[in-house]
Amino acid sequence: MEDTLAQTETQIEQKQHLKKILGVSFGIAITIGGTIGVGILRTPGIVAAKLGSTSLIMLAWIIGGIYSLFGTLSSIELSTSIPKAGGWYVFVRRAFGSYWGFLIGWSDWIANCATLASIALAICEFAALIFPDMQPIIKVTAVILILAFASIQWIGLRSGSRTQELTSLIKALIYIAFIAACFIWGGGKAPAASNSITPSLSIYAIFAGSIIAFQSIIFAYDGWYNIIYFSEEDKDPSRNLPRSAIGGVLITIFIYLLVNAGLLYVLPLSKLASSIAPATDAAQVIFGSKGSKIITILSIIALISVLNAVLLIATRIIFGLGRDGLFTKKITTVSESGTPRRALLLTVVFILLLIASGSVEVLIAVSAFFYVANYFLGFSSLVHLRKKEPDLQRPFKTWGYPVTTLIFLVGSLLFLIGDIFGDPLNALFAFIFIVVTFPAYKLVARINKI
């Protein structure tokens, strides 16, 4: 009888374990796939308008890449030290307790679901530019798109990971093709211009413009941390995560610098600085009337890869919350193929409700506050755990610690303050969410006895 009970408990425990089958190729794919979206097709115009100098533009993108690399190094230490599914909340919970983990975990899951709804709608809106008959059924098509990628991931982890690797590879190759087209066919098609358009401004105006430019660049690099959600499913996280995370970020930096160089090669700096969609303007210079359609297709492909990545991430967050007692443990069942299907199902249902409700943009605005808060508390966790648990096994230690971590920590704090003062209404909504989560946490803690 005791043997039977022990065997049953073992089987239940195994059903709550994710499969360790991922490797470096997936890590690079999830980093590139979740980072490179449509931001790089638009952000160069904003940066050019604020900086007004070719050398300053390229320097800003390099600094933004280094800043993201600093964040990556710290996130690798955390994810290799605590290789559990869930991402930021896992580290915050370990460092500061269950309530803070609950707050960060739920805000992260909701933010990612809102992002998924927004991405699905954006893909369909881009598609409607090519096929106008789709315009009346954009929401329906967005629902179908979410269900299609959920079906791929429902099949199993290999299916979802291979899809990520394939879509990320296709996206990277198409971006490289666009860059090559800029340098092969773009030269001499635009009028010559000065490499600087910076007007005579006060030091304050230049500083303010630089801050806005840097914020835009950091937003374009957002996604460098995606690998942290999958450390539990990596075959050898201590060895693979540093390679895939650092490799993915360096590839992203390389592509971003080449995109900016290509756009500067095709467009006069004044044209780039005044452009809302610089990639489209460059494509029109190169390909003529077909340029707009080419960039629209590129945008769709870029976003498809992001959608698959974020759906994988959101599912791991809610799965981890359930397993750690911060949600119902009924959500933690894992299929034999490695998919936490109940977690995936709940995530998809919530996304579809968001699409139907039409409140995605509001939720995205509120969620922006929590994205920055996640970084701040995540890196605060690293500093705190270094003191709280000095004997914790750390297969990878952050290069340049504490300087690199503190630089990112201070940057996150400044961005958080900027979000509060820049968008006080949505910051207020975020504060209300924080207040509401406390009694919710108390209820969950009482039910799950944590």
pLDDT in tens, 146-164: 999 999 999 999 999 999 9
Q: Take residue 139 and report the two structure tokens written for it.
A: 């929401």
Q: Across the strands, what pairs with 22?
A: 234
- The Cα 311–Cα 308 span in angstroms is 5
Q: What is the residue-averaged pLDDT of the chain? A: 90
pLDDT classification of 5: cutoffs 50, 70, 90: very low
At CB < 8 A and 24+ separation, what contacts does 88-94 make? 88/228, 88/374, 88/375, 88/377, 88/378, 89/317, 89/320, 89/321, 89/326, 90/320, 90/324, 91/378, 91/381, 91/382, 91/385, 92/377, 92/378, 92/381, 93/324, 93/326, 94/381, 94/385
pLDDT at 415: 85
pLDDT at 6: 40
* In the predicted structure, residue 405 carries a pLDDT above the cut 90: yes
pLDDT in tens, 359-390: 777 777 777 788 888 889 999 999 999 999 99
C-alpha 390: how far from its chain's center?
30
340 confidence band (pLDDT: 50, 70, 90) = very high
Question: CA separation (Å) from 317 to 3, 102, 264, 278?
Answer: 34, 11, 40, 35
pLDDT of residue 195: 61
Asked if residue 12 has pLDDT above 50, the reply is no
Each residue's pLDDT tens digit, 181-212: 999 998 755 554 556 565 545 566 667 677 88
Tell whether the model's pLDDT for residue 420 goes beyond 90.
no
pLDDT tens, residue by residue, 275-311: 989 999 999 999 998 999 999 999 999 999 999 999 9
pLDDT at 9: 39
Q: Tell me the two tokens of residue 253.
A: 């930096």
Number of CB atoms found within 10 A of residue 418's CB: 14
Residue type at 168 in one-letter notation: S
In angstroms, the CA 399 to CA 30 distance is 22
Question: Dihedral, CA atoms, 247, 252, 253, 256, nearest 10 degrees?
Answer: 160
What pTM was computed for the model? 0.92
Task: Estimate the crossing angle of helix 138-155 against helix 98-130, to 10 degrees.
Answer: 120
Q: Using the predicted structure, report yes or no on whether residue 402 has a pLDDT greater than 80.
A: yes
Question: Where residue 426 falls among pLDDT bands split at 50, 70, 90?
Answer: confident
Distance between CA atoms of 144 and 160, rounded to whole angstroms?
Answer: 17
User: Which 3 state secondary structure label does DSSP give 80?
Assistant: helix
Q: Is the dihedral of CA 288, 57, 28, 364 positive or negative?
A: negative
| Mean per-residue pLDDT, 30-34 | 95
Find tokens 């358009």 and name the residue.
197
pLDDT value, residue 187: 73
Instruction: Give the Cβ contact number of residue 366 at 10 Å.
Output: 22
* CB distance 80 to 240 below 8 Å: no
Distances (CA, A) of 351 to 113, 268, 430: 6, 42, 19
CA angle (217, 220, 222) in 5-degree steps? 110
What phi and psi values does residue 234 have, to the nearest 5 degrees?
-80, 140
User: Do residues 366 and 63 make contact, with C-beta atoms less than 8 angstroms apart?
Assistant: no
Select, from the ranges 8-17, 333-342, 441-450, the one with the highest average predicted confidence (pLDDT). 333-342
